[in-house]
């Protein structure tokens, strides 16, 4: 299969992976032949890429780190919780954050929050995600297919997956991993109170950006009202925008850039929130959630490295980068040096030991014309270098 931008799609191409909407319902099934109408609908919904079946890449399988069943279950559970909180927010929302928080803490709202079963179902989904990651050591390095409407749900799921992968590497016990996952999957729940129901991918206005900075407090107070005993989980929502240099929000906490906690770190960012911050930043960089183009895995790695020390915990970033493939299976590439310079192709098989030397397949010449595919093992071709491209 081949990853292609929706701008590069042509009628007659065959879909290699089923596409779902924000509720986890099927939009287009695997194997469907694309038409102009289908392509226009995908663009309208904000899908930036899809996977296509192609005779030249039929042996390449781009695996999702989660099964389709678990991903759809997570989307459904998130949709139910977000819909519920949206209904709650109608009666509690105010331009004054303190008034909104007071309304959330009222007896009527707190009673409704504590009796809602959707949060418990979401915690069960987190356990299922954790179970699926038992034998996984590396991220896929390929961003998920998503449109405008399901971006917040996919983001929540991807942040949860990345954070749990970090937590596993840190040898957190199972209960702490569950707390971490439960916090990550709802880390942005506070945005419901301060952003439009559906932004359609449109940029936020200045006032909306200002209000958006209140979402950590609002999410925290909502989660704390529902379950005050889940202290660590609730603090993921509160602290995931804090920075190591103390310039984050909402409280301006500082970090130590270490994994081990100094004894004096009682008023610093919690480790669980620092993990979430790295996972959150990773997914934002990997997709086009900020309105710009998504970055390649190497660009993501370089940016994370640049942010470490000031924004993100340096040691957590260093550990995380060991799990991120630079040239993952299925990644589109261009030859930069040696024979076949400017030829384009795809990674057939990633190389964990030598990340810059995967098995590649060239599919087009510098003029963009299709060629008879050429497979090259870069461990055997020292003069050829390639880099990832998004197309």
Class of the CATH-defined domain 68-321: mainly alpha
Give the per-residue pLDDT at 199: 47
| pLDDT attached to residue 169 | 95
- Residue 308, pLDDT > 60, answer yes
Q: Considering only 89-93, 191-195, 342-346, which range has the smallest mean pLDDT?
A: 89-93
CA angle (67 as vertex; 20, 36 as ends), nearest 5: 25
Percent of the chain with pLDDT over 70: 91
Which of 92-96, 292-296, 303-307 is predicted least confidently? 292-296
Q: Which residue has the tokens 């819909």?
A: 83
Residue 208 near residue 219 (C-beta atoms within 8 A):
no
CA distance 129 to 69: 11
**Residue 352 carries which DSSP code?**
S
Q: Taking CA 315 as the corner, what is the angle to CA 314 and CA 316, rounded to the nearest 5 degrees?
A: 95
Both structure tokens of 277 = 């911050």
- CATH class in words for 2-57: alpha beta
Give the mean model confidence (pLDDT) for residues 150-159: 85
pLDDT score at 157:
93
Domain ranges of the chain: 2-57, 68-321, 332-388
- Please tell me the distance from the alpha carbon of residue 282 to that of residue 359, in angstroms, as a whole number: 25
**According to the model, what pLDDT value does residue 27 have?**
86
Is the pLDDT at 41 greater than 90? The verdict is no
Confidence of residue 46 (pLDDT cuts 50, 70, 90): confident
How many other CB atoms sit within 10 Å of the CB of residue 103? 17
Quote the CA–CA distance of 194 and 313 in Å, as a whole number.
28
pLDDT at 198 over 50: no
Beta strands in the chain (DSSP E): 2-5, 14-15, 19-20, 26-28, 49-53, 332-337, 344-349, 359-364, 370-377, 385-388
Task: Give residue-wise pLDDT tens across range 248-299.
Answer: 999 999 999 999 987 766 679 999 999 999 999 999 998 865 556 778 889 9
Q: How confident is the model at residue 312 (pLDDT cuts 50, 70, 90)?
A: very high
Lowest mean pLDDT among 9-23, 42-56, 139-153, 272-286: 139-153
What is the value of pTM for the model shown? 0.89
Average pLDDT over residues 112-123: 93
Closest by CA to 161, choosing from 278, 61, 334, 249, is 278
CA angle (342, 346, 352) in 5-degree steps: 115
- Whether 241 shows a pLDDT value over 70: the answer reads yes
> For tokens 């050591």, what's the residue?
137
- DSSP string across 200-230: TTPPPPHHHHHHHTTHHHHHHHHHHHH-TT-
Confidence of residue 203 (pLDDT cuts 50, 70, 90): low
Q: How confident is the model at residue 92 (pLDDT cuts 50, 70, 90)?
A: confident
Mean pLDDT value across residues 64-77: 88
Structure confidence at residue 287 (pLDDT): 81
- Whole-number pLDDT of residue 150: 54
Q: How far apart are CA 151 and CA 195, in angstroms?
A: 14
Pairing of strands 14-15, 49-53: antiparallel
Write out the two tokens for 218. 């609002």
| E-state strands within 169-313 | none
Question: Is residue 145 predicted with pLDDT exceeding 60?
Answer: no
Average pLDDT on 210-217 reads 90
């Amino acid at each position: 299969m081949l990853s292609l931008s929706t701008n590069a799609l042509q009628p007659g191409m065959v879909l290699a992976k089923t596409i779902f909407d924000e509720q986890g319902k099927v939009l287009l099934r695997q194997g469907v032949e694309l038409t102009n109408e289908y392509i226009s609908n995908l663009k309208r919904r904000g899908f930036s890429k899809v996977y296509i079946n192609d005779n030249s890449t039929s042996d390449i399988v781009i695996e999702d780190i989660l099964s389709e069943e678990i991903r759809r279950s997570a989307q459904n559970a998130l949709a139910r919780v977000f819909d519920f909180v949206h209904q709650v927010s109608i009666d509690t929302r105010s331009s004054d954050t303190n008034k909104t928080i007071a309304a959330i803490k009222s007896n009527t709202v707190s009673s409704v929050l504590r009796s809602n079963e959707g949060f418990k179902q979401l915690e069960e989904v987190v356990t299922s995600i954790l179970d699926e990651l038992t034998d996984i050591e590396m991220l896929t390095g390929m961003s998920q297919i998503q449109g405008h409407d399901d971006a917040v749900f996919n983001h929540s799921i991807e942040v949860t997956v990345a954070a749990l992968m970090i937590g596993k590497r840190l040898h957190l016990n199972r209960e702490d991993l569950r707390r971490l996952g439960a916090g990550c999957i709802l880390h942005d729940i506070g945005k419901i109170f301060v952003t439009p129901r559906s932004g359609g991918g449109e940029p936020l206005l200045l006032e909306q950006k200002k209000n958006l900075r209140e979402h950590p407090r609002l999410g925290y107070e909502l989660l704390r009202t529902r379950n005050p005993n889940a202290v660590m989980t609730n603090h993921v929502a509160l602290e995931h925008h804090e920075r190591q240099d103390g310039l984050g929000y909402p409280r301006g906490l500082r970090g130590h850039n270490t994994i081990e906690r100094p004894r004096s770190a009682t008023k610093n960012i919690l480790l669980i929130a620092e993990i979430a911050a790295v996972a959150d930043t990773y997914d934002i960089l990997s997709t086009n959630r900020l309105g710009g183009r998504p970055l390649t895995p190497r660009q993501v790695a370089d940016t994370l490295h640049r942010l470490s020390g000031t924004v993100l915990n340096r040691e957590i970033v260093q550990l995380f980068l060991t799990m991120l493939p630079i040239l993952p299976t299925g990644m589109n590439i261009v030859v930069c040096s040696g024979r076949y310079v400017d030829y384009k192709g795809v990674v057939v098989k990633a190389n964990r030991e030598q990340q810059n030397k995967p098995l590649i397949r060239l599919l087009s010449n510098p003029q963009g014309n299709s060629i008879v595919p050429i497979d090259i093992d870069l461990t055997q071709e020292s003069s050829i270098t390639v880099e990832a491209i998004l197309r």
